[in-house]
Amino acid sequence: MKTILITGAAGFIGSSLAEKLVDSHKIIGIDSFNDYYDPKIKRNNVESLNKHENFKIYEGDIRDKDLISKIFNDHDISCVIHLAARAGVRPSLEQPSLYMDVNITGTTNLLEATRLNDIKKFIFASSSSVYGALKKGPFHEEMDITKTKSQYAASKVAGEVICRTYSSLYDIQTICLRFFTVYGPRQRPDLAINKFANLIKQGKPIPVYGDGSTQRNYTYIDDIVDGITRCLSYDDEKFEVFNLGGDETVSLSDLIKVIEDKIGKKAIIDRQPEQPGDVPLTHADISKIRNALGYNPSTDIETGIENFVKSMK
C-alpha cells in the first residue's frame, strides 16, 4: 500500500480526494485550518476520515520547514499531491505578501522535502487564473501565461515554474493541473455557487459583478478527483501541464437561473461594478488530458447544481 501526502487535506478538494483514495492508499494530510473561512467546515470535512486507519492529518502550515521535515521523515511517502494554497483572486489583491509567501514559499518547501527524500512524483494544483484576461477560448496548455490579473494567479504561475525547475534539476516527475472553477458539495462558502445558493434560500440579495455576461468553465468535484487520480499512473513526461476542467462554459446569468431552478426561488439581484482581478472568460481545452489519460468529465451543470443544493439540506 503506497503512502500519499495530500496538502490542504481538510479542504473542499483535498478531503474529497482523500475519501476517494483512503481505502487503497495510506493518506497523510496536512492542513493549517486557518480562518480564511470557518475552520469548523474543514473539521467537518475530515470527521469521517479521522476514523479510518489509513488516514492521518497534521495541523500546521506548509511554510513550517520543521513540520514538513518531520512529516517526510516519519512516513514513507511515494507521491505528493499539493493542493494547499492561499485561495481567492480578490483577497490576493488585498494581501499580496501573504499570498506570495504561502503559495510560493510553501510550494518550495514541499518540493525541497520531495527532493531530499528522493520522492519521484509531485502533483501541483494550479489554476485557470494563470490564463489571465483572455477573451477567446478554449484555453490550451501552450498559451502565454505571463499576463496574469491577480497576485493569486501570479503565485500559481510561479508555482508551475518552480515545479518545472525541480523536475529538470532533480529528476522528479511534476504534473501541474490547472483547475477550472471547481464546485459541488463542500465548496468553499466564499465561492459564487455556494454564496448565491445560500442567499437565494434566505431571500437575500446576491451580489452580481458586471452585467452577468462573464463565462466560466465549471467542473464538478467528482470529475476533478477523477482527473487527479488518473495522474497517479501517468509516467510519460517528466514535466507535464494539464487543464482539468468541465465540458461546459456557462455565463453568470445562466448559472443564476440554474440555481434558482434547483432551489425553487427567484434571486434578488444586487448589481455591482466589475471587480479588479476578475476575468471575462475561462474555457478549458481538455483534449490533452483526455487523450493522455482518458479523462472525460461526466457531470453537467444542471446535475452538479442539483447535487450541491441537495447537500445543503
Catalytic residues: 152
Distance of alpha carbon 153 from its chain centroid, rounded?
Answer: 12
Distance of alpha carbon 175 from its chain centroid, rounded?
Answer: 14
Q: Could you give the CA distance from residue 146 to residue 161 in angstroms, rounded to a whole number? A: 11
127 and 153 Cβ atoms separated by less than 8 Å: yes
Q: In b/e form, how buried is each residue of 128-157, taking b as 16+ CB within 10 angstroms?
A: bbbbbebeebbbebeeebeebbbbbbbbbb
Give the CB-side neighbour count of residue 195, counting CA atoms within 13 A: 11
Q: Which three cell numbers stand for residue 293?
A: 489519460
